[in-house]
A = this chain, B = another copy of it.
């Protein structure tokens, strides 16, 4: 570190910033610190209609049988199996049709020997019957039905609890609920679902040069890209974003903003080590700045720590760095707090490189790439300020810190930005 003592005030801090970080943490060290501070949030209860995509805080045990009654599994006739034994196309047996059982509208009487009740799939099996003779094995004419085949006892009958037995765990804690899970919960009478609370994520945008999203860029002022991008990323990862700013780079304003209601705070901009970079100093002064400066490209001016006991992540203001630092650290934290996996939320493909990727030993690199004709093309533009490099890219390749890069033709893993539902354009 360049010693700052004895220099003219107003330049000294900047010199420190400009010469960079004295010592950078590795990505692995930063992740280790982060992971040691991640716990799923406490449980909350949501109505069933809002449960899709949420994570179960507890296992769900059914207190009912599904179905709760014996039911027909095919359309046909509820009969006594012994009545139709030996029936066939050339030895027809005739039964008297005494009624009908429909779903929710059971037949009230009893099937006696020699009688049958017309029954629909899902309808309650009437008393006295022990099987369903499928319609395909009958010929019906008004109040009589002829069996042209036979079935054994229990055939085409759905038993009580065949879908779910009372007392059975139907879904485990930690399950991210799928559409059919929500249907299943409905079928066992669950109205409110215990889920991991969604993290409230306070997004604090700082920078004197920034205009708020929705404004037009003007003169030397640029429009905040990180706020809207982070709102979308947080929503993707199951958090509830609240956007604050853009704020000017004044310590008291930024400190106030960092202390608002939240489970985790993301600060974008002013994350480095200069006089304009308030956030790290504030976290150090008022809390704990655990990690500051990470051996990665872009995003090296990333920090993380605790303020008022809450996790604070300091993300660089350059938009590519901000995206990269979000995905490596902030998204991971938000997903874990919401009970989700910490894995990358991107699909992976392995494909050969069209051109080499060069990386410095000692730095974890995040290379934007395109997929062209089944091969991986690194994007030439690598500036951390060029956001369009991430919109032109199909995904990215991570080069680990102990790796110098990859030669042309090497098969690399690409993490894809695209959504499975995106139409190919």
Within 8 Å of chain B (Cβ to Cβ): is A309? no
Within 8 Å of chain B (Cβ to Cβ): is A191? yes
State whether A232 touches B189 (Cβ < 8 A): no
* Range for the number of chain A residues in contact with chain B: 35 or more
The CA of A324 and the CA of B82, in the complex, are separated in Å by: 36
Within 8 Å of chain B (Cβ to Cβ): is A130? no
State whether B210 touches A104 (Cβ < 8 A): yes
Work out how many copies of this chain go into the complex.
Answer: 2
Within 8 Å of chain B (Cβ to Cβ): is A141? yes
A53 to chain B, nearest CB (A): 7
Within 8 Å of chain B (Cβ to Cβ): is A184? yes
A302 to chain B, nearest CB (A): 15
Interface locus among A24-32, A284-292, A387-395, A404-412: A387-395
Cβ-defined partner of A340 (8 Å) among B143, B173, B340, B423? B423
In the bound complex, residues from chain B placing their C-beta under 8 Å from that of A187 are 217, 222-223, 225, 319, 387
In the bound complex, residues from chain B placing their C-beta under 8 Å from that of A218 are 68
State whether A104 touches B423 (Cβ < 8 A): no
State whether B180 touches A340 (Cβ < 8 A): no
Chain B, residue nearest A139 (CB): B2
The CA of A185 and the CA of B231, in the complex, are separated in Å by: 14
Per-residue interface assignment for chain A, residues 314 to 339, with 1 indicating a CB less than 8 Å from any chain B CB and 0 otherwise: 00011100010000000000010001
Interface locus among A85-93, A234-242, A353-361, A371-379: A234-242
A98 to chain B, nearest CB (A): 12
State whether A174 touches B217 (Cβ < 8 A): no
State whether A390 touches B180 (Cβ < 8 A): yes
A228 and B49 contact, Cβ closer than 8 Å, known pairs A11-B140, A188-B217 = yes
Interface locus among A147-155, A256-264, A413-421: A413-421
In the bound complex, residues from chain B placing their C-beta under 8 Å from that of A175 are 422, 425
In the bound complex, residues from chain B placing their C-beta under 8 Å from that of A103 are 207-209, 276, 317
State whether A14 touches B118 (Cβ < 8 A): yes
A residues 200-246 in Cβ contact with B at 8 Å: 207-210, 213-233, 235-238, 243
In the bound complex, residues from chain B placing their C-beta under 8 Å from that of A48 are 213-214, 228
Given contacts A14-B120, A180-B387, A341-B423, 11 further A-B contacts (CB under 8 A): A14-B118, A66-B387, A104-B222, A120-B276, A163-B386, A179-B229, A182-B228, A183-B228, A186-B214, A186-B229, A340-B421
